[in-house]
């Protein structure tokens, strides 16, 4: 954004791509799919000490229609997977997904008959967080990585 002589009148020039990605990346509304202890860490991240609001992602929406960031926090059983898929489908584009913790990413220690071995088999995941459960710093790091992805994607059509 170059300085122009008419800027003192409250006008600045920018590109549409820049202003749209700026708005998107700084107002991510998470859909918390909390099924286990990872959700407790997510709550700690949202609370005052770590304060995810600093990154514009404090508006937790429990309606998928109003959110654009799926955070899968916890283990997903095969009975729960169709629910997760349906909620993911209900979220409007553009949307992103964080797989938080070992269980959501690969099944973790639950290598059993009823547990999904990684939600990325069924929904697209943008950022994986390691840890069991991950600390709030890791969740903030993942959020910043999502912001970088939002920034680099631009405003192209995401789906055919």
Partner 1 sequence: MTDVSAAAVEKLVALFPDVLIGTGESCGQRYADVRRDRIVDLLTFLKSDAELQFEMLMDVTAVDYLNQGAPERFCVVYQLYSISKNGYFRVKAYVPEADPTIDSVSGLWKSAPWAEREVFDLYGIEFAGHPDLKRIMLPDYYTGHPLRKDYPLRGLGERDNFPKYAGGA
> Which residues would be at the binding site for partner 1 (CB under 8 A)?
78-79, 81-82, 85-86, 89-90, 111-117, 122
Find the shortest distance in angstroms from Cβ 90 to partner 1.
5
Q: How far is the CB of 65 from partner 1 (least distance, A)?
A: 9
* C-beta closer to partner 1: residue 50 or 110: 110
Hey, which residues does 69 pair with through a beta bridge? 30, 96
**In angstroms, what is the minimal distance from the CB of 156 to partner 1?**
23
Choose between 74 and 134: whose C-beta lies nearer to partner 1. Answer: 74
The dihedral region occupied by 95, where left means phi > 0, alpha psi between -120 and 50, and beta the remainder, is beta
- Neighbouring CB atoms inside 10 A of 15's CB total 11
Q: How far is the CB of 159 from partner 1 (least distance, A)?
A: 12
User: Which token pair is 77?
Assistant: 């059983």
What is each CA distance from 90 to 34, 61, 77, 122, 127, in whole angstroms?
17, 13, 20, 15, 20
Give whichever of 24 and 75 is closer to partner 1, judged by the CB atom. Answer: 75
């Amino acid at each position: 954004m170059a300085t122009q002589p008419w800027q003192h009148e409250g006008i600045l020039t920018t590109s549409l791509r820049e202003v749209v990605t700026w708005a998107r990346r700084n107002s991510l509304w998470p859909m918390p799919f909390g099924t286990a202890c990872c959700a407790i860490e997510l709550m700690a991240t949202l609370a005052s000490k770590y304060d995810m609001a600093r990154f514009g992602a404090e508006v937790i929406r429990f309606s998928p229609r109003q959110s654009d960031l799926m955070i899968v926090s916890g283990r997903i059983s095969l009975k729960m997977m169709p629910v997760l898929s349906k909620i993911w489908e209900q979220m409007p584009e553009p949307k992103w997904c964080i797989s938080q913790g070992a269980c959501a990413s690969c099944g973790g220690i639950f290598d059993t008959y009823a547990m999904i071995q990684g939600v990325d088999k069924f929904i697209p995941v943008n950022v994986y967080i390691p840890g069991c459960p991950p600390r709030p710093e890791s969740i903030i790091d993942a959020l910043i990585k999502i912001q970088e992805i939002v920034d680099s994607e631009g405003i192209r059509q995401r789906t055919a």
